[in-house]
Structure 1
Amino acid sequence: MTAVPEAMLFDLFGVIALTQSAESEQALASIAGAPVDDFLDAYWRPRAPYDRGELTAADYWRQVAADLGAVFDDDRVGALVTADVASWAGVDEAMVAYVERAAASAVRLGLLSNIPEDLAADFERRHRWLRCFEVVAFSCRTGLAKPDPEAYLHCCREFGLAPERVLFIDDRTENVRAAERLGMAARLFTGGSEDPFEGGLPLQ
């Protein structure tokens, strides 16, 4: 790539926010009354349409229940929604600090996340650092989820930049490769080291 990136587009979970822990998965499975492995299969099967805003929380959890051969009443659904949001609530404070430094340096920032509405609303209530992002593309509101090329192009249009002018950072190889196919610069976030970005990502 010869163009110099003018904006940085971040994934959320697995980069700035933490992914679910085994303990959180166990807690959700316990509320659902199912073995963890069975629960996780049912949990992820309809997750993409939930992330894209095609299912409400109630519809999503009743589909999970149907996959488990169960029925969840309103109280069970409410408990699962609360526990699910809590299971994704953690953030990497070092990465939050990185984002805040980048914003203070006038770097243009964007956020592209596959996320359902309940979780998106919770993050907006709790995290003022989301204001650092000029572009915020939550799949539940755009209807576009990675690795769909349109999810990335939507963000480029919001920036008013060609794809080759945007640097994308994600922890999933398939999402990084999808960005690269569009001509975007991309880095695989590896975390847990002094250089958490494959190939380096110096703060401008």
Structure 2
Amino acid sequence: MPIRAVIFDIGGVLLLETPEDLAMKWTRRLGLKDGEFMQLLVASGVIGPANVGAITEEELWGRLGMIYHLDDDQLREFRDDNWAMQEPNMKLIHFLESLRPRYKLATLSNDWPGAREQQNRMFQLEEMLGIEVMLYSCEEGMQKPDTDFYLLACERLGVHPEEVVFIDDREQCVKGAQRVGMKAILFKDTDQTIAEVQACLEASESSETCRIPLKDVLTSRDMQLCPSVDITKSGTDPHLRAKSARFVGHFL
């Protein structure tokens, strides 16, 4: 099947961490040991429920405040930093913009409650890219690499998994996409990702061109040059098939 859509992650792909990310800043602010910030977050058990929207936005931040022993002012700053300490990957965004309207675009993101509002408020992703579909795990009650999450994106776009190129910065999410039949690319850096997406799309277009029936490619003038050859019937007659082959060879 030809490629009809490109689906991509947001965090780590469309939005990249600033040189000092959230963990680095708050490790320093709170006097934590290296790695302790993430250890506390993972041990709290909050990530999974937040990703699938099993807790509200206010419950999430209340629990994070308790985990890191933050006062009200610190919690507000921490909450703002969570969204603000990212920057748009403009080179990739411009590339994806260039794919419209030939290809449908969608995002598929594991994220916490409030992500859609904050990301579109700060970075205007939906408006900038003209994205048909933006799917957030916290709104759908499922997350990558769950098979149903990828299939939901396909359903919303009206495409088959085999018609999709998928981009993510996490290997397990890439493998999840591959399991449902998508062509999946692991984001390592922007140039590598653009090159791999272009290669996929070019291969798809080349393959699709090769499948176009010859009778749909030839113009009426071409047919007049060899009126005795009926391309649509040549496969059943060896003599006609030979004449067709010689005729086609003239145009290759």
**Aligned 8 A contact 1:189 1:198 in 2:** no
Alignment of 1:81-160 (within 5 A): 81-87=79-85, 89-103=86-100, 105-131=101-127, 132-160=130-158
Match of 1:56 in 2: 56
1:146 partner letter: K
**Aligned 8 A contact 2:108 2:134 in 1:** yes
Could you say what secondary structure the match of 1:18 adopts?
A: strand
Give the share of equivalent positions with the same residue, in percent: 26
**Aligned 8 A contact 1:188 1:197 in 2:** no
Return closer, same or farther for 1:61/1:125 CA change in 2, 3 Å cut-off. Answer: closer
1:6 partner letter: R
Match of 1:12 among 10, 13, 31: 10
2:105 partner letter: L
Match of 2:33 among 32, 35, 38: 35
**Aligned 8 A contact 1:57 1:81 in 2:** no
TM-score (normalised: structure 2)? 0.68
Find runs of 4+ consecutive structure 1 residues off by over 6 angstroms: none
* Structure 1 residues without counterparts, runs of 5 or longer: none
Could you say what secondary structure the match of 2:14 adopts?
A: coil
Which stretch of the first structure deviates more once superposed, 132-141 or 118-127? 118-127
Deviations 1:57-92 (A, max 9, x none): 443344345555xx43433322221121122x3111
Could you say what secondary structure the match of 2:144 adopts?
A: coil
Deviations 1:114-141 (A, max 9, x none): 1223332121113334232111101121
Match of 2:166 in 1: 168
Per-residue deviation at 1:197? 5.0
Counterparts of 2:117 and 2:15 in 1: how far apart (Å)? 15
Could you say what secondary structure the match of 1:12 adopts?
A: coil
Per-residue deviation at 1:19? 3.2
Could you say what secondary structure the match of 1:133 adopts?
A: coil
**Aligned 8 A contact 1:187 1:197 in 2:** no
Return closer, same or farther for 1:117/1:20 CA change in 2, 3 Å cut-off. Answer: farther
Return closer, same or farther for 1:138/1:17 CA change in 2, 3 Å cut-off. Answer: same
Counterparts of 1:90 and 1:54 in 2: how far apart (Å)? 28
Q: Which has the higher helix share?
A: 2
Match of 1:189 in 2: 187
**Aligned 8 A contact 1:110 1:134 in 2:** yes
**Aligned 8 A contact 2:92 2:194 in 1:** no
Match of 2:24 in 1: 26
* Structure 2 residues without counterparts, runs of 5 or longer: 203-252
Match of 2:245 in 1: none
Deviations 1:110-169 (A, max 9, x none): 100112233321211133342321111011211221111111111011012221122211
| The structure with more radius of gyration | 2
Q: How many residues align?
A: 197
Which stretch of the first structure deviates more once superposed, 24-33 or 137-146? 24-33
TM-score (normalised: structure 1)? 0.82
Counterparts of 1:63 and 1:91 in 2: how far apart (Å)? 28
Could you say what secondary structure the match of 1:158 adopts?
A: helix
